[in-house]
C-alpha cells in the first residue's frame, strides 16, 4: 500500500477546505481535529492556501495537512516546499504523477474514467480521487469499478454528504470520502469554530459503520 493510500485509509473522512484569511488556519485546524478529523485538504483556490499549509506544518498533533486543486507542476513544487503531507488534483496528468514520485510527495490524482485508473496503475499508482463523484454516478459507479480494480483505493469527492458517506465507505475499495461539509467557506470566513467542531463530529459519525 502506497503512502497516499495509507493516509486516506487512516483518515476515512477528509474535509476539503477553502481559506481566505491566514489567521483562520490554526483555529480552523484545531476545530477540525477536536471534531475528530485526522486530515484536511486545503485547496489552492485562494492566495492564502499555501501560506496556511506552511503555518500548520506540525502545528496540530494528529492532523495531516494536504494541498488540493493542484493543477500544474508549479503548484506541486510549491506544495512540496510548503511542507504539505500530501497533494490532490481534480484530474489526471502523467507529468504530475511523475513529478510527485520524483519529489516523494504522496499524491492523489483525480480519475473520472477506468482508462485514467489504468494509466495511473501503469505508473505504479494504487490510489485515486473519484471526482465529481455524484455527477459520475456515485456509489453505483464505484461499485462497478471495484469489480475490476479491487486492489486500488478511491476517495470520492463532489456531492458527498452525511446522507451518502456510508454508501461509499461500505465498498471495500473506497478508502475515504472528501467533502466541504465540515467547514463551508462562509462558516470559516465567519470564524464559527464551535459550529465547525459540531459538523466535524457529524462528518466523522457518518463514516462509521
CATH architecture for the domain at 3-203: Alpha-Beta Barrel (3.20)
- Whether 195 is catalytic is no
Cite the beta strand spans of the chain per DSSP E: 13-17, 39-43, 64-68, 86-88, 107-108, 127-130, 153-156, 177-179
pLDDT digit string (tens) for 73-122? 999 999 999 999 999 999 999 999 999 999 999 999 999 999 999 999 99
Considering the candidates 41, 54, 98, 195, report the single residue annotated as catalytic. 41
The mean pLDDT of 135-153, rounded to a whole number, is 97
Query: In Å, what is the CA distance from 134 to each residue of 93, 142, 156?
Result: 22, 11, 9
**pTM exceeds 0.75 for this model:** yes
Q: One of 23, 54, 94, 129 is an active-site residue; which one?
A: 129
Q: What is the CA radius of gyration of the chain?
A: 16
Amino acid 209: pLDDT: 62
Active site residue 190: no
What is the per-residue pLDDT across 26-47, written as a single tens digit (0 to 9) for each? 999 999 999 999 999 999 999 9
User: Which pLDDT score, from 0 to 100, does residue 80 have?
Assistant: 97
Amino acid at each position: 500500500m502506497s503512502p497516499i493510500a495509507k493516509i486516506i485509509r487512516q483518515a476515512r473522512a477528509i474535509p476539503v477546505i477553502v481559506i481566505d484569511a491566514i489567521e483562520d488556519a490554526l483555529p480552523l485546524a484545531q476545530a477540525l481535529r477536536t471534531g475528530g478529523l485526522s486530515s484536511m485538504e486545503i485547496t489552492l483556490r485562494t492566495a492564502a492556501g499555501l501560506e496556511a499549509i506552511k503555518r500548520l506544518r506540525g502545528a496540530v498533533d494528529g492532523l495531516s495537512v494536504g494541498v488540493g486543486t493542484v493543477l500544474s507542476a508549479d503548484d506541486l513544487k510549491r506544495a512540496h516546499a510548503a511542507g504539505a503531507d500530501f497533494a490532490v488534483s481534480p484530474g489526471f496528468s502523467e507529468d504530475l504523477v511523475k513529478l510527485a514520485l520524483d519529489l516523494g510527495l504522496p499524491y492523489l490524482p483525480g480519475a473520472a474514467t477506468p482508462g485514467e485508473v489504468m494509466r495511473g496503475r501503469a505508473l505504479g499508482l494504487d490510489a485515486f480521487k473519484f471526482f465529481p463523484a455524484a455527477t459520475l454516478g456515485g456509489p453505483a459507479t464505484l461499485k462497478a469499478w471495484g469489480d475490476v480494480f479491487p486492489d486500488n483505493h478511491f476517495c470520492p469527492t463532489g456531492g458527498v454528504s452525511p446522507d451518502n458517506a456510508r454508501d461509499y465507505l461500505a465498498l471495500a475499495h473506497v478508502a475515504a470520502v472528501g467533502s466541504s461539509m465540515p467547514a463551508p467557506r462562509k462558516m470559516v470566513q465567519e470564524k464559527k469554530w464551535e459550529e465547525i467542531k459540531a459538523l466535524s463530529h457529524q462528518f466523522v459519525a457518518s463514516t462509521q459503520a
